[in-house]
Structure 1
Amino acid sequence: MPQQLSLQIKLNDDATFENFLVPAGDSKHLLLTLLRDSWPQSDEPSVYLWGRPGSGVSHLLQASCHRAASSGLPVQYLPLRELMEYPPEAVLAELERLPLVAIDDVQAIADRDDWQEALFNLFNRVRDVGGHLLMGGDAAPRELPLALSDLRSRIGWGPVFQLEAPNDVQREEILKFRAARRGMTLEDEVARYLVNRAARDLHGLMDCLDTLEKTSLEAKRKLSIPFVKQVFSW
């Protein structure tokens, strides 16, 4: 196993494939099939996902790590925006020895030539040994603000998938889906009220759901608009 820095990085327990809602007929089914059922066992050495915050990029990177780890494979998830204070060579040392490495927030190294060079070198090492890199960012490879053009090129070598951020109707469906996964019933009007009043991003909505789960259990109350108003003082 690689000898790395001791990094305080933990996968989100809720970031699993089972907790990722994809409507029938959505193009994301192809991506889920690749990540959940075929990769990293496939011949594709790298996959890149991109989309705005809330589109599910980080969720799917972590879900892939959860799935691989559940099969007994050692994995590493690295959200780069949280690691800029560390020396890149030390963080990325010997990661090519792992079956799966997930690199998130690649746009975070836009102003760091040292990180770009280190990631480029890791990319080459992974390909040399037949490993797998799963990467995520907020822009298409050619639009990433990276000075190292060879790194942008490498990122785009494998399959590239764009994830669209959900609209309000889809946010409501995601809220109801995630509530049901927790054994909670969230009526349409309550979901709509939350989407209209809470933070626009999915992270904020999930934080609201966490709070409602805890308070509704303590108060033995069902999720209604009056109860939601009381909890959040809206």
Structure 2
Amino acid sequence: MAKQLPLHFEFRANQTFNNFYPGDNQEIITHLQNCIAGTGEQQIFLWGKHGQGKSHLLQACCCQAYILGLSSFFFSFSNSALPDPIMLGGLDEIDVVCFDNIEHLAGNPTWEMAFFNFFNQHRDRGHKLILSAHRAPNDIAIQLPDLKTRLNWGLALKIQPLADHDRIAALTFKANQMGFEISPKAGRFLLTHYARDLASLWALLEKLDQASLAAKRKLTIPFLKQIMDDNHV
């Protein structure tokens, strides 16, 4: 594979292991931390529904690698046009590579072959590969048999959704991380009247924080209703 400078990416400082609310996923965090430290699996495949924190955990892996003095790289594929596979050039030299939404490569023969070649070279160097998708490895429609086999190497871990009591605890945890308070009662109200996926809830917390600061008011349920009505949430 021709060597080139990989695409630049930025760490998201608010997406670390310390500010991820684990719920029933603490064992997954431990496996990821051991992988980065070189005391666990060389390859991990995370899967689960949208909004359960896969992207956060992959970013956290890169942050952890940085702390340990390792090189790292994160890229999230989308269902829009794929980038040129030449972006893989040089990634085989990176200590920790994280690819999010890997299922979007399925059915693209050029990308499947390019990723297969990258996979082999990266693994031969003893580096760590962490992948994520909305489905388990066997359920992804990869056409290249050898690549499909390799996606099943290592450890496949399903992210467990948070129960309602954990979602409320996660809201409280996230709000504390952001520097403000939200009561369990207010958290229950948001779950009932707004959204249940964490990505939407985190975005809402940003709006609530700004509104609370601007109005210099605590997040009572009447105030939450006012904010949501004013923002057409």
Q: TM-score, normalised by structure 1?
A: 0.89
Give the match's secondary structure for 2:154: coil
**Gap runs ≥5 in structure 1:** none
Q: Where does 1:91-102 land on structure 2 (aligned, <5 Å)?
A: 91-102=87-98
Give the aligned partner of residue 201 of structure 1: 197
1:159 aligns with one of 155, 159, 164: 155
Q: Where does 1:135-174 land on structure 2 (aligned, <5 Å)?
A: 135-174=131-170
1:13 and 2:10 equivalent? no
Give the match's secondary structure for 1:115: helix
Q: CA deviation at 1:100?
A: 0.4
Q: CA deviation at 1:5?
A: 5.5
Letter in 2 for 1:36: Q
Give the aligned partner of residue 172 of structure 2: 176
Give the aligned partner of residue 118 of structure 2: 122
Give the match's secondary structure for 2:44: strand
1:72 aligns with one of 54, 69, 82: 69
Residues 189-229 of structure 1: CA deviation (Å, up to 9, x unaligned): 11011112223321110000011111211211111111111
**Gap runs ≥5 in structure 2:** none
| Equivalent residues of 1:48, 1:161 under 8 A apart | yes
CA 1:38 to 1:169, structure 2 compared with 1: closer, same or farther past 3 Å?
Answer: same
1:107 aligns with one of 103, 107, 111: 103
Higher alpha-carbon deviation: 144-153 or 77-86: 77-86
Letter in 1 for 2:27: L
1:35 and 2:35 equivalent? no
Aligned length: 228
Cα separation, 2, equivalents of 1:15 and 1:168: 22
Cα separation, 2, equivalents of 1:70 and 1:82: 32
CA 1:31 to 1:5, structure 2 compared with 1: closer, same or farther past 3 Å?
Answer: closer
Residues 82-114 of structure 1: CA deviation (Å, up to 9, x unaligned): 7844211x1111101011000110111123121
Cα separation, 2, equivalents of 1:85 and 1:22: 31
Cα separation, 2, equivalents of 1:35 and 1:5: 23
Give the aligned partner of residue 182 of structure 2: 186
Letter in 1 for 2:10: K
Cα separation, 2, equivalents of 1:21 and 1:5: 31
Letter in 2 for 1:111: G
| Equivalent residues of 1:56, 1:165 under 8 A apart | no
Give the match's secondary structure for 1:145: coil
Cα separation, 2, equivalents of 1:147 and 1:163: 25
Residues 146-179 of structure 1: CA deviation (Å, up to 9, x unaligned): 1122212101110111112223332212111111
